[in-house]
C-alpha cells in the first residue's frame, strides 16, 4: 500500500468522534460469485430489516449506517459506513464481532484475504485484511453529520484481539518484560538514546545482555530491555522493506497529527509542547534497567562500556521511585494487567 495515500487518508479522519468509511473493490469474475454475492446481500438486507432492529449490527454498537452498492454492471461494489471511533477500532470490531458475515460478503472481492467455505479465515489474517481495506478506501472529503460529537452509544466498546493459530513461542527471542513483571526489582532507570555511530550501535546491541523471556531458577536479580522507535530502526539501517512490516501505528509514531488528535494531544498537550519526544528530542531507542535494591548502579555502569559512548548520544535519563505499593494504573491489583495466551 502506498504510504503517502494512507497518510492522506489519515489527515481526513478523526475530526469528530464519528468517521466516514468508503471502500470500493472489483468483484471476482463468474456467475457463481455474482449469485453468491447477491444471495448474501439479500440475506443481510432481510436480517437488517426484520431481525437486527436494535440499533446495532450484531454485537457491533458503534455503526450509524452501512450500505453496499453494486456498480458497472455489478462488476464493482462500494461499501459506505458511518461509525464511532477510529478506523483501527472499526476494523477490529469487524474482525472480532462480525467476521463471519464480513467474510461472506468481502470474499467476493478481488484481493481479499483467502477464505475457506466463504466464511472462515479471511479477515482473521489481520494484517492482510487491514491492508486490503486501506488499499480500497476512498477519501471522504465532504460529509455531513447533524449532531457533531454525538456517538451511537455511551462509552466505547471493548475491542478484543483476533485469535491466532497455535504456534510455538521461542522465549529466547522474546524480551522478558513481555512475560514477567519484574515485581521484585524495585529500582529502575530508563535512558533515551539517539544513534551517533551506526556500526558502533549495532555492535553494542549485538553484545548487549538483554534479558529474555526464558524462565530461570532462581530468577535474575537484574534485567535489561531495549525498545526501538520507527526512527531508530531507520537510523540503525534496517531496510525499508523490513520496516514496512510493522504496524501503521508504530511507523506513524505519537507525534503524527492524526495520532495526536486521537490521543487528545492538542493545544497545551500538543507534541510541540513536550519536554522530549518531539523533533530532535525523539529517541531512537530506550534502554530499560531493572534491579533489586542496591544493584541498579552496578547494572547501568556495566552496560555503559566504551562502545556505548561511541554509539549513542544520551538524550535523557528517567529515574524512578518506589511508591511503597501504590500503583496508579491498576497493574498491582490485576485490573489492567494484560495477559498473553502463550499457547496461541
Looking at residue 187, its pLDDT comes to: 92
DSSP H or E run through 43 = helix 31-50
Position 58 confidence tier, pLDDT thresholds 50, 70, 90: low
Comparing 194-198, 214-218, 265-269, 285-289, which segment has the lowest mean pLDDT? 214-218
Please indicate, yes or no, whether residues 188 and 125 belong to a single structural domain of this protein: no
Query: Does pLDDT of 323 surpass 60?
Result: yes
Transcribe 113-182 into DSSP letters: PPEETTTEEGGGSHHHHHHHHHHHEEP--S---SSTT--SSSS-PPP-PPP-------GGGSBGGGT---
DSSP H or E run through 66 = strand 63-71
Please indicate, yes or no, whether residues 315 and 191 belong to a single structural domain of this protein: yes
Query: Does pLDDT of 338 surpass 80?
Result: no
Task: Give the C-alpha separation, 117 to 119, whole Å.
Answer: 6
Q: Say what the pTM is.
A: 0.55
| Residue 187: strand, helix, or coil | strand
Looking at residue 12, its pLDDT comes to: 80
Please indicate, yes or no, whether residues 253 and 119 belong to a single structural domain of this protein: no
Pick the residue with more confidence: 205 or 303?
A: 205
Sign of CA dihedral 157, 162, 168, 172: negative
Backbone angles phi, psi at 64, to 5 degrees: -85, -35
Q: With respect to residue 156, please indicate whether it lies within any of the assigned structural domains.
A: no
Looking at residue 307, its pLDDT comes to: 86
Transcribe 221-249 into DSSP letters: SEEEEEEE-HHHHHHTT--HHHHTTS-HH
Q: With respect to residue 163, please indicate whether it lies within any of the assigned structural domains.
A: no
> Average pLDDT in the 133-138 region?
88
| Residue 18: strand, helix, or coil | strand
Identify whether the C-beta of residue 77 lies closer than 8 Å to the C-beta of residue 70: yes
pLDDT, tens digit (0-9, with 9 covering 90-100), for 252-286: 888 888 888 888 899 999 999 998 888 888 999 99
Looking at residue 331, its pLDDT comes to: 61
Please indicate, yes or no, whether residues 313 and 180 belong to a single structural domain of this protein: yes
Beta bridge pairs of residue 25 = 77
Please indicate, yes or no, whether residues 175 and 102 belong to a single structural domain of this protein: no
**Dihedral through CA 120, CA 121, CA 126, CA 130, nearest 10?**
-70
Which residue range is the domain that position 271 belongs to? 171-319
Q: What percent of the chain has pLDDT over 90?
A: 35
pLDDT, tens digit (0-9, with 9 covering 90-100), for 223-244: 999 999 999 999 999 999 999 9
Task: Pick the closest to residue 68 from 59, 76, 57, 60 (CA basis).
Answer: 76
Max Cα-Cα span within the chain: 75
| Residue 82: strand, helix, or coil | strand
Looking at residue 193, its pLDDT comes to: 96
Q: With respect to residue 34, please indicate whether it lies within any of the assigned structural domains.
A: yes
Looking at residue 236, its pLDDT comes to: 96
Looking at residue 341, its pLDDT comes to: 66
Q: With respect to residue 86, please indicate whether it lies within any of the assigned structural domains.
A: yes
Looking at residue 179, its pLDDT comes to: 84
Task: Give the C-alpha separation, 153 to 176, whole Å.
Answer: 39
Cβ atoms within 10 A of the Cβ of 1, count? 15
Please indicate, yes or no, whether residues 187 and 296 belong to a single structural domain of this protein: yes
Q: With respect to residue 162, please indicate whether it lies within any of the assigned structural domains.
A: no
Please indicate, yes or no, whether residues 54 and 183 belong to a single structural domain of this protein: no
Looking at residue 233, its pLDDT comes to: 96
Looking at residue 55, its pLDDT comes to: 60
**How many domains is the chain partitioned into structurally?**
2
Amino acid at each position: 500500500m502506498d504510504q503517502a495515500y494512507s497518510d492522506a487518508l489519515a489527515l481526513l479522519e478523526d475530526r469528530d468522534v464519528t468517521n466516514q468509511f468508503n471502500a470500493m473493490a472489483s468483484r471476482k469474475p463468474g456467475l457463481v460469485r455474482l449469485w453468491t454475492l447477491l444471495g448474501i446481500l439479500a440475506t443481510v438486507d432481510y436480517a437488517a430489516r426484520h431481525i437486527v432492529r436494535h440499533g446495532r449490527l450484531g454485537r457491533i454498537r458503534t455503526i450509524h449506517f452501512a450500505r453496499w452498492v453494486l456498480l458497472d454492471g455489478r462488476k464493482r461494489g462500494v461499501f459506505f459506513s458511518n461509525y464511532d471511533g477510529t478506523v483501527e477500532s472499526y476494523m477490529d470490531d469487524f474482525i472480532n464481532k462480525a467476521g463471519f458475515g464480513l467474510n461472506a460478503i468481502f470474499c467476493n472481492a478481488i484481493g481479499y484475504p483467502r477464505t475457506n467455505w466463504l466464511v472462515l479465515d479471511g479477515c482473521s489474517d489481520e494484517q492482510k485484511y487491514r491492508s486490503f481495506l486501506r488499499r480500497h478506501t476512498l477519501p471522504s472529503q465532504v460529509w455531513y453529520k447533524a449532531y457533531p460529537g454525538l456517538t451511537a452509544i455511551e462509552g466505547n466498546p471493548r475491542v478484543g484481539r483476533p485469535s491466532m493459530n497455535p504456534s510455538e513461542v521461542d522465549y529466547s527471542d522474546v524480551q522478558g518484560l513481555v512475560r514477567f513483571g519484574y515485581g521484585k526489582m524495585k529500582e529502575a532507570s530508563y535512558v533515551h538514546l539517539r544513534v551517533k555511530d551506526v556500526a558502533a550501535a549495532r555492535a553494542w546491541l549485538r553484545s548487549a545482555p538483554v534479558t529474555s523471556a526464558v524462565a530461570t531458577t532462581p530468577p535474575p536479580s537484574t534485567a535489561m530491555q531495549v525498545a526501538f522507535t520507527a526512527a531508530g530502526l531507520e537510523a540503525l539501517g534496517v531496510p525499508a522493506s523490513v520496516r514496512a512490516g510493522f504496524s501503521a501505528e508504530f511507523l506513524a509514531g505519537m507525534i503524527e497529527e492524526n495520532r495526536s488528535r486521537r490521543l487528545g494531544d492538542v493545544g497545551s498537550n500538543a507534541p510541540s509542547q513536550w519536554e522530549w519526544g518531539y523533533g530532535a528530542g525523539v529517541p531512537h531507542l530506550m534502554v530499560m534497567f531493572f534491579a533489586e535494591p542496591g544493584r541498579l548502579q552496578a547494572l547501568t555502569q556495566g552496560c555503559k562500556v566504551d562502545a556505548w559512548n561511541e554509539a549513542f548520544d544520551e538524550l535523557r535519563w528517567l529515574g524512578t521511585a518506589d511508591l511503597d505499593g501504590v500503583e496508579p494504573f491498576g497493574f498491582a491489583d490485576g485490573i489492567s494487567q494484560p495477559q498473553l495466551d502463550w499457547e496461541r
